[in-house]
Amino acid sequence: MGDDPNMPRTTLISCCKTLLAALLVLAQLLLPPVARAQLPGMGDGGEMTISAERQLGDRIGRELYRDNAYIDDPVLQEYVQSIFQKLMAAARTRGELSPEMEERFAWRVVLMRDRDINAFALPGGYMGINLGLIAVVGSRDELATVMGHELSHITQRHIARMLDKQSRQTPWMLAGMILGAIAASRSGGRSGGDLGQAMIMGTQAYAMNSQLSFSRDMEREADRVGFGVMTQAGYAPQGAAAMFEKLQYASRLNDNGSYPYLRSHPLTSERIADMQARSQLGAGNHAALPLVMDHAMISARARVLARGGVDQLRLWVDAAGSTDFDKGSPAQQAGTLYAASLSAAQLRDFEQARALAARLVTRTNGDASASRLARLLSAEVELIAGTPARATPWIDTKAKERPEQFQAAQWAVATRQTPAQQAPVVQGLRDRVARDPRDAGAWRLLSNLYNAQNEPLRALRAEAESNVAMLDYPAARDRFKAAQDLARQMAEGKPGLPPLDHYEASIIDSREREIEGLIRQQMQDERGQPR
């Protein structure tokens, strides 16, 4: 998004896995030999098993979900998921995705509300994407380049190979180190990241250099496989070329030591030349990819939600009325209006937010995808303003798409729709969690709807399932136990409570036992005990 004057240009995709590499070496140097236990569940050849990697990924994922930076934004999540699913299908077609890996890994994309330009692969099929990355890529194809690269780190099992090669800690110590690396990356390697780098320097330079050589091989492999996956998925090779140009530009600006990725994993001339050759061969020409409306609006949303601060929000509002606005392309204007309207809503200036959203609806007329995003934003402004009745024209209670379903659920509760009126919304969310039981946001909204319908037992169960989806099993157990207590009171005919749904009570009893088993398993894993 080089046309946006407000976007910082001295940032770069600094992959968390490189910080992980540094921390792994540091841990090896500092921990005594007695602490270096073998990884449980190692397979033939000494490689971490798929099961062990998934356990490690779940441990990390559980902490990420608890992080204040984690965000489940249905609009942005839908956008990255649409790319991710195409990449997964392409990896499957190319034979990069084994049936066992596809079945056993989580395959979740976790969004982080962070302005740093970053995406990272994690053990067990998890991928993290910062909103800062979505904010600066100029097309789906650029984003697909990064996601294809990270997906290839997962499918090629680079993480398991790195952990096995460099460490014999228990998976739970490794999880802590990976989380520390992610935290350090938020400050661009400053503070804790610099401390880790300084402690590794000097007499341990050889060990660090050996690790870096290994990681460069992985990067080249992820470049090659990722490029094949993203082009197989139908994304333009020019997207890869454009993304590498951004990285090259950032690397030339790296003169202040603030990029830990470039310090430890420089963008080598070999990688650049190889990707340029691949991109040119596939593209057949050097034409730049045009900015399209819906991507401009998605990038604008990511910029605003990435905690820009009050002053930045005001700048985005003012941009929609500046003399430069008319000079922009239709897509640039749509992005500017989207950022301005959402920023005005964040600043609680709802009259301005409504006026800007109305301009956006007019500007996007004729572009189905962009027009849909404009309608969603118009409803969102009213929901943020606390005037849900004004959102009614934009609400579709029978929609199948996640953003529309989430807005419909919020609207139904806020406007106190009757149970009969809420029924299609409830059914839509129930169908969604049946397809994807790990949709924590859908479970939470179901809980709100059930409470509004005076169905407290179902509400408690949905709340518990939301905690299960976030991998917070102790919290889920507490909610299931609360539901069991409530079921007993209903069975006793306590005044003020609805009749007991015996089928729902049976499900709750069964799920509580399952979660107890998962908690015991977690405790055994953390203690390093055999099962």
In this structure, the answer to whether residues 245 and 342 fall within a common structural domain is no
**CA distance linking residue 31 with residue 169, whole number of Å:** 9
Q: Are residues 67 and 42 in the same domain?
A: yes
What pLDDT, on a 0 to 100 scale, did the predictor assign at position 263? 42
pLDDT digits (tens, 9 = 90+) for 267-304: 667 777 777 787 776 544 556 789 999 999 999 999 99
Across 194-198, 265-269, 374-378, least confident range: 194-198
- Percent of the chain whose pLDDT exceeds 90: 63
Range of the domain at 265: 16-283
Condensed to tens digits (0 to 9), the pLDDT of residues 2-24 reads 444 444 433 333 444 444 443 33
Residue 493 inside a domain? The answer is no
Q: Report if residue 471 sits inside a domain.
A: no
Query: How far apart are the C-alpha atoms of 296 and 48, rounded to whole Å?
Result: 41
What is the crossing angle of helices 330-346 and 293-305, to 10°? 30
Is residue 525, in this structure, part of any structural domain at all? no
- Domain check: are 387 and 257 in the same one? no
For residue range 387-404, what is the model confidence (pLDDT) as tens digits? 999 999 999 999 999 999
- The residue ranking higher by pLDDT, 42 or 461, is 461
Exposure pattern of 54-81 as b/e (b: 16+ CB <10 Å)? bbbbbbbbebbbebebbbbbbbbbebbe
Q: Are residues 231 and 300 in the same domain?
A: no
pLDDT at 31 over 90: no
Residue 149 lies in a domain: yes
Bridge pairing between strands 119-122 and 126-130: antiparallel
329 and 346 assigned to the same domain: yes
Q: Which of 31-40, 230-239, 368-377 has the lowest mean pLDDT?
A: 31-40
Q: Which two tokens stand for residue 465?
A: 């399932």
Q: In terms of domains, do 231 and 312 share one?
A: no
pLDDT at residue 166, rounded to an integer: 52
> Is the pLDDT reported for residue 192 higher than 60?
no
Last residue of a domain, one of 218, 249, 283: 283
- Mean pLDDT of all residues in 187-208: 35
Instruction: Indicate if 139 and 32 belong to the same structural domain.
Output: yes
Residue located via tokens 């169960």: 461
| Nearest in space to 215 (alpha carbons), one of 296, 271, 257 | 271
Average pLDDT of every residue of the chain: 82
- Residues 199-237 have pLDDT tens digits of 223 323 333 344 433 377 888 899 899 999 999 999 999
In-domain check, residue 489: no
Q: Tokens 């943020």 map to which residue? A: 384
Q: Which of 283, 304, 329 is the last residue of a domain?
A: 283
244 shares its domain with 379: no
DSSP at 470: T
- CA-CA distances (angstroms) from residue 416 to 14, 427, 455? 46, 17, 15
User: Do 329 and 245 share a structural domain?
Assistant: no
User: Looking at 394, 421, 453, which one is the last position of a domain?
Assistant: 394
Residues 295 and 330 in one domain: yes
Q: What is the mean pLDDT of residues 254-259?
A: 39
Cα–Cα dist 146/118, whole Å: 9
Residues 132 and 269 in one domain: yes
Residue 424: its pLDDT value, please?
A: 97
Q: Is the pLDDT of residue 97 over 50?
A: yes
Q: Residue 40 domain-assigned?
A: yes
DSSP state of 128: E
Q: Which phi and psi (to 5°) does residue 395 adopt?
A: -90, 135
Residue 511 lies in a domain: no
In a domain, 74, yes or no: yes
Rounded distance between C-alpha atoms, residue 254 and residue 348, angstroms: 38
Q: How confident is the model at residue 530 (pLDDT cuts 50, 70, 90)?
A: very low
Q: Is a pLDDT exceeding 60 seen at residue 264?
A: no
Same domain, 296 and 275: no
- Total structural domains within the chain: 2
Top-confidence range, 3-17, 36-50, 253-267, 317-331:
317-331
